[in-house]
Amino acid sequence: MSSQEVTLPINKSVYDIIYSTGRKIETEQFLFACRGSFNSSITDNILFLTEGNLLELDTPKVAKKVYYLMVEGLQNITRHQYHDDSGSPFDGALFIINRREQAYNITYGNFVSADVKEDLEENLAAIVSKDSVELKEYYMEILNNSGFSSKGGAGLGLVDMARKSSGKLSFEFAPVNDGFFYYLNLNIAIQKDDYDDEVASEYIHDAMKLHHDMLECDAQIIFKGLLHETNVNHLSNQIDSTLNDSPETRGMSSVMTELLRNVAKHAYSRLNHLGKPGVFMLQKIAEGFAMYSGNFISGGKQELVERSLNSINSLSTDQLNEIIDKKHGEAPSSSSGTGLVRLRKISGHEIRYEIKEYNDDPPYFILKIELN
C-alpha cells in the first residue's frame, strides 16, 4: 500500500464541505463520520443511530453484515486509539461509514508509531493476499494460537472482518508527525451482482479525503441522512456522549435537536423515503463550538427564508423573549415557528447562513449556530 502524507490545508470553506456532502444525498444516502476519543457510550450511540438508517435503506441481511463489521471495528479502535494530551488533531481515533451506490464502506483510523506500523502492515498484507478458503484456515490457525498479537497485529477480529466483508479490505499509512495515521477500509455489497471490487478499492481514498476535510476545519462529527424524530434524538445523545467531559458544553444537544428538527420539518426532498435529507456538522472553533445544518429548499422559498432569517437577526434580546413567551402561552397547535428564534436567543449570535445554487439542483440552505 502507498503512503500518502496527511496535510492540513486551511482554505476550504466549511460551507463548501457541507454543500458537497449534501449534494450527493441521492446516491450516497447515509454518512456518519466521527473523530476524537471513543468510549462505550459513544460507540453505543453510533450503533443505535446507524442501525435505524440501515434498516430503513436496506434489507435485514445487508444491515446485519454492516452492523457486525461496525461492532468489531469500533471495539478495535476503542482499544487501540491514540491518546495525546498536547492537543494533537490525531488524538483518539476515526470512524466513517458511508452508503455508496453499490456498497457500504466503513473506514477506521488511528495514529500508530513506526514500529507498530511495520508489524501491522506485514500482517494486513498477509490477510489481503489470501482467498476466502485461506482466510478461514488462517482464522483457525490464529484461534488455536491464542488470538491477538501484543503489537496490535492481525488478530481474530481483523481476520474475521476480512472474511465477512465484500472483496478485499484495503489500508493506508499516511505519515504524520513522528508516526503514521492508519486507515482500514472494509466494504459490504448492497447487491452482490452489482459489486465492482476495482471501484470499491478506491473508497478508502474518499474516506481519507473526508478525514482531511474534517481536520482542516476541526469538525468532530459529520452526519448525512434522512432526518426524523428517532435519529434526531440519537444524534443528540451522540453529542452529549462526545462532549460529556466538558461541563461548559452540557446542554448542547438541545440546541442541536432544535437545529435538526428544523431540517426534519422544513427540508425539501426528492426521495421517496421517510424523513428529510439533511447534513449536520459539529465543529470546534476558538470560542467554543459551531453547529451547521444543510438541506435543500424549494426554489420558491428562497426569498422567504432569507427574509425570515434577516428579520430574526435584527431582533433585540427583549424582542426575542417576547416572541418566545407569547408562543409559549398559545395552544400547541399554534406554537410552531419559534425554533430559529430560540436558537438565536440561546447562541447570543446572529444566525449565519448561506444559500448555494448549482445547475438544476434545488437551492441548498446551510445554517450556522455558534455557541461560546
Cβ-Cβ contacts under 8 Å for 352 (sequence gap 6 or more): 367, 368, 370
The pLDDT value recorded for residue 333 is 46
The pLDDT value recorded for residue 32 is 92
Residue type (1 letter), 223:
F
The pLDDT value recorded for residue 128 is 92
Q: What whole-number distance in Å separates Cα of residue 235 and Cα of residue 229?
A: 10
| Cell numbers for 324 | 418566545
CB count within 10 Å of CB 174 equals 21
The pLDDT value recorded for residue 278 is 92
Question: What CATH code is assigned to 14-299+356-371?
Answer: 3.30.565.10
> What is the helix (H) or strand (E) element at residue 159, kind and residue range?
helix 156-164
Q: What whole-number distance in Å separates Cα of residue 99 and Cα of residue 58?
A: 10
The pLDDT value recorded for residue 266 is 85
4-48 per-position pLDDT tens digit: 554 444 446 899 999 999 988 878 889 999 998 888 878 887 887
Q: What whole-number distance in Å separates Cα of residue 254 and Cα of residue 291?
A: 12
Cα three-residue angle 223-225-230, rounded to 5 degrees: 95
Pairing of strands 179-189, 219-227: unpaired
C-alpha atoms less than 13 angstroms from C-alpha of 79 in its C-beta half-sphere: 13
Task: Enumerate residue ranges in the chain where pLDDT < 50.
Answer: 1-3, 6-11, 147-154, 332-336
pTM of the model: 0.87
What phi and psi, each to the nearest 5 degrees, are found at residue 188? -130, 120
Nearest to 14 by CA among 317, 259, 289: 289
